[in-house]
Amino acid sequence: MSLSLREQLLKAGLVTEKQAQQAERQQNQQQFRAPRDKKRQQGPTPQQLAAQKAQAEKTARDAELNRKKQDKADRKARFAQVKQLVEQHQIARVESEDFYNFVDNGKIKRVPVNASLRERLVAGELAIVRNEGRYAFVPAATAADIRERVERAVIHHNQVSAATDPNDPYKDYVVPDDLVW
């Protein structure tokens, strides 16, 4: 019978029993480490890839939620600025039997006005803005500031155009300013 290398070395007295056991232990440890080291070299496992993908999706979701929160806060701040501008610059409303008609969201609305308010609205000096469900008269400069913040808050503003068409067939006919429709 042939003896194993271990037994031959022990018989020859080249190694002790303790050294042989230690060498055997190291050999076993290398056998168990080798498959793990190969896996590390191969790349991430499917579980690790799934975890990374889930983390990336969570990060994207969180970024989207933060963007929405920031947009909501910005919109709220803009509406607060509009409210403040309207409160500071609005023209007092009048009680009158005379009304000024305008279109809001496809519906004809009307507000009571006196002659001077009507003239200023027609000339484009005043604009009608909606603030918290109510209509207010503000100067044209304030309406421009409001339009920068919230476009849909300015309901009605006559833009006076200085350029007239020379080929306009109705240029000789004047439309009265007090025409009520």
pLDDT of residue 1: 47
Residue 44's contacts (CB-CB under 8 Å, 6 or more residues apart) are 52
Between the CA of residue 11 and those of 1, 2, 7, 8, 136, what are the distances in Å?
15, 13, 6, 5, 110
Domain spans of the chain, in order of start: 50-161
For the chain, report the end-to-end CA distance as a whole number of angstroms: 123
Pairing of strands 134-139, 154-157: unpaired
Copy the structure tokens of residue 69: 């929160």
pLDDT of residue 72: 94
Torsion of CA 135, 96, 123, 168, to 10 degrees: 110
pLDDT of residue 36: 59
Q: For each of the chain's 181 residues, which pLDDT tens digit applies? A: 466 777 877 778 778 888 888 888 888 888 777 665 555 567 778 888 889 999 999 999 999 999 999 999 999 999 998 889 888 888 888 888 888 888 888 889 889 999 888 888 888 889 999 888 889 999 988 888 888 888 888 888 887 665 667 787 877 787 776 666 6
**pTM for the predicted model, two decimal places:** 0.57
